[in-house]
Amino acid sequence: MKVVEELRYLVLAIQREGNRLLAAELRPLGITPSQAEVLRVLRDHGPMTLNALGGLLVCETGNSPSRLVDRLVAQGLVKRGVDKVDRRYLTLSLTPQGRALHRRIITAENRLHRTMDDRLAGQALDETISTLRSLADAFPTGAALARRRGPELAHQEN
């Protein structure tokens, strides 16, 4: 097996296991990992337009996660409103129920992160993260993650 092939499969295996563990944590909340990501982005960066949201998501490719947002609106977790700057645009923001669920999502994510921290104890991660970031930044989802880090964090971390 080539080194880059093993890297690809290792990343896939870690992603699948991480998603499986997160899905199990989120299941009692009635939400999927993709829906949780939307709520996290809206809480951390919103309110915003659908296209802006799409540009920050890793779980969806493209700039229009409309079906995902439609489900969250139907659940009463996200609301659509008129943009204050340009009334031609709709903005998305969390409802009070969405903000309350967001706090529970953070708790679930923290449990997953503690599990990962325990398994990675003593490992030097800076070089690994730098390598993965170099590869991910070449793709749209990596660029979305870089935008979420923000310019101040992106500068500090590079």
Q: pLDDT tens across 94-109, in order? A: 999 999 999 999 999 9
User: Rounded to an integer, what distance in angstroms lies between the CA atom of residue 48 and that of residue 131?
Assistant: 31
Q: Calculate mean pLDDT across residues 49-72.
A: 84
The continuous run of DSSP H or E covering 44 comes out as: helix 33-45
**Contact 77/94 with Cβ under 8 angstroms?**
yes
Query: Which residue type, as a one-letter code, is found at position 6?
Result: E
User: Rounded to an integer, what distance in angstroms lies between the CA atom of residue 37 and that of residue 51?
Assistant: 15
pLDDT tens readout for residues 71-80: 999 999 999 9
